[in-house]
Amino acid sequence: MTEYSLAVIPGDGIGVDVTDAAMTVLEAAASRFGFSLAPTRFPWSCAHYHETGAMMPEDGIETLRGFDAIFLGAVGWPDTVPDAVSLHGLLLPIRKHFDQYANVRPHRLLQGIEGPLRTDGFDILCIRENTEGEYAGAGGRVHQGTANEVATETSVFTRMGVERILRFAFGQARARRGHLTSVTKSNAQQYSMVFWDEITRALAAEYPDVTVAQIHIDAMAAKMVMAPETLDVVVASNLFGDILTDLGAAIQGGLGFAASANINPDRTAPSMFEPVHGSAPDIAGQGIASPIAAIWSGAMMLDHLGEAEAAAAVLSAIETATGRGIGVRPGSHSTAEITDTVLEALKG
Ligand code: NAD
Ligand code: IPM
Ligand code: MN
C-alpha cells in the first residue's frame, strides 16, 4: 500500500480546529481509496514561540524537507506575537526555502452557496507568485524613531522568478478555458511591473492557444466584483495575488471556503497545502470555524500526491454537504457538524 508522509503544522487559533477536521476527512479518503497517510504533527506556533523563543527549531526547514507534503492550518496570534515575527518565523520561510513559487488558489461557488454577488460561471484559478516580489524582505529602517525616519521595502522581481510563474500560469490556462489575465500596475510601477508585462508578451508567443489580457490591479479589483465570470486563470505578483485571493474568497462566500496550494512545480522539495485564511482570533475557540477551505486544500494535496480519484471524492463530498445547506454561511453550522456531513458523504 502506498504511504505518504505528511508534516502537519496546525499552527494557531482556528488553524488547529480546521487541520484536525481536515485530517479526519483525508484519513477516511485514504482508507476508502487504498493508500495510507503517515502524519507527523509539529506544534510550531505562537504558543511554541512563547515556550522556546522561536516559531520553529533552527533545523525546522531541514526536518520538513524529507516529507512528501506539508499540511498547515494557520499561523499568527497578533495579540501576543507580532505578525512579522510569527509569519517570518514559520510560514514565509517554508514557501521560500522549498521554492514553492506557485501559490494556486481556486475560487468558485460551491454547490448550494450563493455568495454576495449574483453571478453564474464564476470559476477562477488564481496563480500567485509566492517567493519574491513585494515579499522579498529587502528593505530596512534608518534614523529609527526620529523625525527623519525612512522605511523602505523593495520589491524584487527576477527574470527567472517572473518567467517561471508566468509559464506555470500559461500551462494552467492551457489546461482550463485557455484564457490568462496577468495583473500588474505598470502605469505607476515603471520597473518591476513593466518588466513583468514585457515577459508576459514575450511568452504569449509560445502559447498561441491561450488568450492573454493584461490589466492593472485597481481595474482588476473592480472586474472581479463586476464581472468575475469573464475571468479564467489569473496571475499576479505576491502581494497583488494575496489581496485578490481574499477578494476571491469573499466572492465565494467567505474566507472559510478558499483553499490554497503552495506548489514547488519542479518537485525538488515538498509542497505545502493550507487554507487562504488565517487564525481568525475573533472566532477561535468557538467551534464554528468552517473546515471547508482546509478540507479542500487537503484534496489539492491528495491530487498533488497522485491520488486524483480520492481528491475528487473529497471535493464532491464537500459539495454534497454544501448542497444540503450545511456550512453555507459563516457560522451557520459548527466545525464538527460540517466535518461529520463531509465524512458521511465521503462514504459514497
Ligand atoms: P483571518 O483570515 O484569520 O480572518 C479574517 C476574517 O475571516 C475573520 O472575521 C474570521 O473570523 C473570518 N474567517 C477566517 N477563516 C474562517 C473560517 N475558516 N471560517 C469562518 N470564518 C473565517 O485574517 P486576519 O484576522 O487578518 O488574521 C488573523 C491572524 O492570522 C493574523 O496573525 C494574520 O497574520 C494571520 N494569517 C495567517 C495566514 C496563514 O497562516 N496562511 C493567513 C492569513 C492571516
Ligand atoms: C496568505 C496570508 C499570508 C500572505 C500572510 C499571513 C503572511 O495572508 O497566505 O494569504 O500574505 O501570504
Ligand atoms: Mn492572504
- Tell me the per-residue pLDDT of 58-73, one tens digit each, with 9 for 90 and over: 999 999 999 999 999 9
Whether the predicted pLDDT of 146 surpasses 90: yes
Give the residue, by CA position, lying nearest to ligand 2 atom 3: 242
Distance CA 180, CA 135 (A): 23
Distance CA 245, CA 237 (A): 12
* pLDDT at residue number 91: 98
* pLDDT at residue number 337: 98
* CA of 148 relative to ligand 2 center, distance in Å: 31
Superfamily of domain 116-252: Isopropylmalate Dehydrogenase (3.40.718.10)
* CA of 14 relative to ligand 1 center, distance in Å: 8
Confidence band (pLDDT; 50, 70, 90) for 263? very high
* pLDDT at residue number 118: 81
Whether the predicted pLDDT of 348 surpasses 90: no
3-state secondary structure of 301: helix
Element (H, E) at 155: strand 150-156
Tell me the percentage of the chain whose pLDDT exceeds 90. 98
Does the C-beta of 249 come closer than 6 Å to ligand 2? no
Confidence band (pLDDT; 50, 70, 90) for 56? very high
Arithmetic mean of pLDDT, 48-54: 98
What pairs with residue 261 in β-bridges?
A: 104, 273
3-state secondary structure of 334: coil
* Ligand 1, atom nearest to 283 Cα: 11
* Ligand 2, atom nearest to 239 Cα: 11
Amino acid at 110: L
Give the residue, by CA position, lying nearest to ligand 2 atom 8: 242
Distance CA 97, CA 291 (A): 28
What ipTM, to 2 d.p.?
0.99
* pLDDT at residue number 310: 98
* Ligand (nearest to CA of 243): 3
Confidence band (pLDDT; 50, 70, 90) for 119? confident
* pLDDT at residue number 130: 98
Nearest by Cα to 296 from 254, 237, 236, 265: 254
* Ligand (nearest to CA of 128): 2
Cβ(234)–Cβ(125) below 8 Å: yes
Rg (CA), the chain: 20
Distance CA 324, CA 335 (A): 16
Q: For residue 151, what is its C-alpha cell?
A: 522605511
What does pLDDT average to over the chain?
Answer: 97
Whether the predicted pLDDT of 41 surpasses 90: yes
Give the residue, by CA position, lying nearest to ligand 2 atom 4: 242
Whether the predicted pLDDT of 262 surpasses 90: yes
Confidence band (pLDDT; 50, 70, 90) for 228? very high
Whether the predicted pLDDT of 339 surpasses 90: yes
C-alpha torsion angle, residues 115, 249, 187, 158 (rounded to 10): -160
Whether the predicted pLDDT of 215 surpasses 90: yes
- Domain span(s) for CATH 3.40.718.10 in the chain: 1-101+260-348, 116-252
Superfamily of domain 1-101+260-348: Isopropylmalate Dehydrogenase (3.40.718.10)
Distance CA 103, CA 88 (A): 17
Distance CA 343, CA 348 (A): 9
Nearest by Cα to 108 from 252, 259, 250: 252
Tens of pLDDT, residue by residue over 164-173, are 999 999 999 9
Confidence band (pLDDT; 50, 70, 90) for 334? very high
